[in-house]
Chain A
Amino acid sequence: MNDVLVGQALTKRFGQTVALGGVDLAVRAGEAVAIMGPSGSGKSTLLHCLAGIMKPDGGEVRLLGERIDGMRERARSALRRTRFGFVFQFGQLLPELAAEENVALPLMLSGVPRAKAVRQARSWFGPLGLGGMETRRPGELSGGQAQRVAIARALVTKPAVVFADEPTGALDQTTGQETMRLLVEATRGNGAGLVVVTHDPNVASWCERTVEVRDGLLAVGGVRT
């Protein structure tokens, strides 16, 4: 068993609506898992519970064997900053910072000196095909480039798990495929687990495993085959 992240019997309600009705999910180091399902099925809620953004009503979440669902907001916040990486569909880069500063930001937040943080950040630009884009502002990058900067930012802290919510939702087919390839390869190369929420089968096909959420329950694939 080398699961980095395990969710067990997770439940979450919003008023009368059951968003999660007891979900089990485990992610191994270097493994990419796609969570699919129609809108409102609870896939985003599942991601938020696993990532410590939301507290589940019941069940437990363990990161490397340690329970994280009961932690206080401050501790979960620190955890998200140091052990998790995030890639979203839009708007995750700070428009006023240069690309390299956006990538360096999580390191600086953890106390790495600025010069060192920027140096480390730059080392990600070449492998992600972003050479020469270091000092550009997000407004001067294409959608695909911005998304690759976001990938660099998610990985720069060497996280245990990377969470991606519709990472290619704002990109065209070709750019999306390229972005997914880079995301999966970089995450795997880094030894981190990857959880991707998507409704696009093409995106899911990049992952080793796909689970489907329907009405707050895992329909297919929750348990590894």
Chain B
Amino acid sequence: MKLVRDMGFMVMKELRTEWRTKEILTAMGVLGILVLIVFAFAFPPGSVRYQRLAPGILWVAFVFAGILGMNRSMAQEKEDGCLQGLLLTPMDRGALYLGKLLANLIFLSAIEALVAGLCILFFNVSFSEGFGLFVLVTLLGSTGYVAVGTLFSAIAAQTRFQEVLLPVLLIPLAAPILIAVVKCTGAILDGSGFEAVAFWVKFLAAFYAVFVIGGFLVFEYVVQE
């Protein structure tokens, strides 16, 4: 199927470009670590229970690292008119959107793994038996977040205020996702099982579906002037 094939070509192109430049992962990784450091200074060990603070720390790091990565990824497409080059091909615009989305999700997931690992190490946070559930919730939340972010990064890239516009557009719209993932992460760190987060997981799955399908359908109108 051409759509899936073209999406695969897009993802491979993104990964190859990142392998060469290391621009996106480096920026996202540094920002993620800096967020952890800022929280470590703001709440010195012993002053708070990190287990309760961790959901907020993690998602602040994920959200801002994600914005940085998605902005940079779309900026690369604007460089030398590459996005125009893509739009001149018979590739379905939906494949272009899904390819960018998947690549952004891969980059964000890599940084999430790094930040979560460092959070466990630095703050002695324990997931006990809920680690699998945390991965599921993070994946669902990140996909919904990146689905909106990829769409809005294409809108923001057409303006002179790209760096500012993306967070301004993205964070309010992604707020329901962020509330859900923070609630879920908190419950998982408290040792609650799937039943405690079932509602939020369904909520995230619904948002995920709406944002991915919506982005797929409207991306063409966003990228064509």
* A, B: real partners: no
Binding site for A on B (CB under 8 A): none
